[in-house]
Amino acid sequence: MQRTHALNVAQDVESLFHPYTPLDKVRETGPLVMTRGDGIYVEDDQGRRYLEAVSGLWCTSLGFSEQRLMDAAQQQFRQLPYYQLFGGRANEPSIALSHALIEKTRHLGMAMAMFANSGSEANDQAVKMVWYYFNAIGKPHKKKLIARERAYHGVTVMAASLTGLAGNHADFDLPIGDRVLRTASPSYYHYGRPGETEAQFVDRIVGELEALILREGADTIAAFFAEPVQGAGGVIVPAAGYWEKVQALLRRHDILLVADEVITGFGRTGEWFGCDTYGIQPDLMTVAKALSSSYLPISATLVSARVYEGLTQGSRRNGQFAHGVTYAGHPVCAAVALETLRIYEERDIVGHVRRVAPHFQRRLRGMEQHPMVHASRGVGLIGAIELVQDKATGRTFEAGSPILARVVSAGFEVGLICRALRDTLAVSPPLIITEPQIDELFDKMGQSLDLALADARAAGLMP
Ligand SMILES: Cc1ncc(COP(=O)(O)O)c(C=O)c1O
């Protein structure tokens, strides 16, 4: 479909209700309309080309032009464009995909996979499974869920309730109910106290978690939800030793661990899963995004044999497991996801991430030289820098400062798409990125920071 930029803007402003967008401003600025993809690059409706350094929403792992995924979709469309999984029915791609997913996660303790369409839904159904499980095994008092500050688990009513970001709660009347308990984010950078070592920080926040569990009563707590590396909350790489101590604590108190691998799954951290990188043995896992390189929507909630056995007991009692969405295991989405996993294997994408990640992390650390950058952090092919007004003290810009938005808009000018999260600038490029492209990414990031710095100086905000 060939449309003009002017027509796109006119119709967008009239009719397209944009998610996660300032609704008033977008009507003045108009949308940024992408029309084409080519490897790690995208092109807009005015012919401008951008290096997509966040893979869309941390998700297009194989870039924007993988022919094999398009072919896999077409072939499945021709053969069987839809069939459902309710009532024991199935379609071949979803069977093959669940098998492949369990093969990949068996060492993490996963045994069965239920599909959905988005990360939010996968987490939502994980919550329902956790409650159903404890009811089925005769522990109906275990209801509360622990989630962390800065967590991002999605936007459905329950996933947004687990999310630990104020912006996702304000005016949505969330969190819902009183079943979500909040605990600390493992960010030593943000929350370490003066003079406190990283190890002391971990002991303190794990101690606070234990105190919370004891105060509430372990027999009332069902599960702990967590991303191995927090993404939308600011790319929080957990403090060293955190996961080991948290898991020991949860095990002691019979609290299930739900690992939200929606961003970290499938190579992002340099291992197949964030759980591999941090030695996490979860009871449930949620995956989405890179599962299909996001060419089509599909997600899954994976459960251990122990949890599945409990759910089966409940199903026996109730006549069935009365949960599932129309598009769960959609054959075309599943066929594309299956082909994605085949490509990861055949091209050794995880090995590629391990090979290029040191260069990526080196260039990321190099950004700390810039007058507006106070710190950097990352793992594998995910990273972030902290933008500050005063480099010496680490003082940040005022909330909503135009300089923060300027860093992103300057990126557009130089052909780079990054993601701003409060004072954090995040990057998470397609996993197929090469070393020269990593250089291009960080060269462009430097140019956009320079443009923003010039504006900050012109406004008298920085020396
Ligand atoms: C860790 C994590 N969980 C869940 C979600 C929600 O996924 P979706 O937007 O597909 O509902 C996201 C989205 O960014 C995420 O980063």
Same domain, yes or no: 219 and 98: yes
Same domain, yes or no: 303 and 357: no
Query: Does a structural domain hold residue 292?
Result: yes
Cα 441 to Cα 99, 259, 405, 434, 446: the distances in Å are 37, 30, 18, 10, 9
Ligand 1 midpoint to CA 391 (Å)? 32
Pair of tokens at residue 440:
């291009």
Cα 214 to chain centroid distance, Å, stands at 30
Same domain, yes or no: 186 and 117: yes
**DSSP output for 282-299:** -SEEEE-GGGTTTSS--E
Are 196 and 218 in contact by the 8 Å Cβ rule? The answer is no
- Ligand 1 pocket mutation, candidates 60, 124, 148, 152, criterion most atoms within 8 A of CB: 152
- Residue 151 CB–ligand 1 contact under 6 Å: no
Pair of tokens at residue 152:
């991002």
Task: Report how far apart the first and last C-alpha atoms of the chain are (Å, whole number).
Answer: 49
pLDDT tens readout for residues 202-249: 999 999 999 999 999 999 999 999 999 999 999 999 999 999 999 999
> Which amino acid residue places its CA nearest to atom 4 of ligand 1?
153
Give, in degrees to the nearest 5, the angle at Cα 430 between 425 and 436: 85
Same domain, yes or no: 142 and 55: no
pLDDT tens readout for residues 297-334: 999 999 999 999 999 999 999 999 999 999 999 999 99
Number of domains composing the chain: 2
Binned at pLDDT 50, 70 and 90, residue 422 comes out as confident
CB-based burial label for 65 (10 Å; 0-12, 13-18, 19+): middle
Binned at pLDDT 50, 70 and 90, residue 2 comes out as confident
CATH classification at residue 450: 3.90.1150.10
At 399 the pLDDT is: 87
At 459 the pLDDT is: 92
What is the C-alpha separation between 130 and 111, in angstroms, rounded?
15
pLDDT tens readout for residues 90-133: 999 999 999 999 999 999 999 999 999 999 999 999 999 999 99
φ, ψ of residue 114 to 5 degrees: the values are -115, 135
Which atom of ligand 1 is the closest one to the Cα of 123? 4
> Which amino acid residue places its CA nearest to atom 3 of ligand 1?
153
Q: Which residue, of 322, 345, 368, is where some domain finishes?
A: 345
What are the residues facing 289 on neighbouring strands?
none
Q: What is the mean pLDDT of the chain?
A: 97
- Residue 153 CB–ligand 1 contact under 6 Å: yes
Which atom of ligand 1 is the closest one to the Cα of 299? 10
Q: Which residue, of 299, 321, 345, is where some domain finishes?
A: 345
Binned at pLDDT 50, 70 and 90, residue 250 comes out as very high
Same domain, yes or no: 43 and 192: no
User: What integer is the mean pLDDT of 349-360?
Assistant: 98
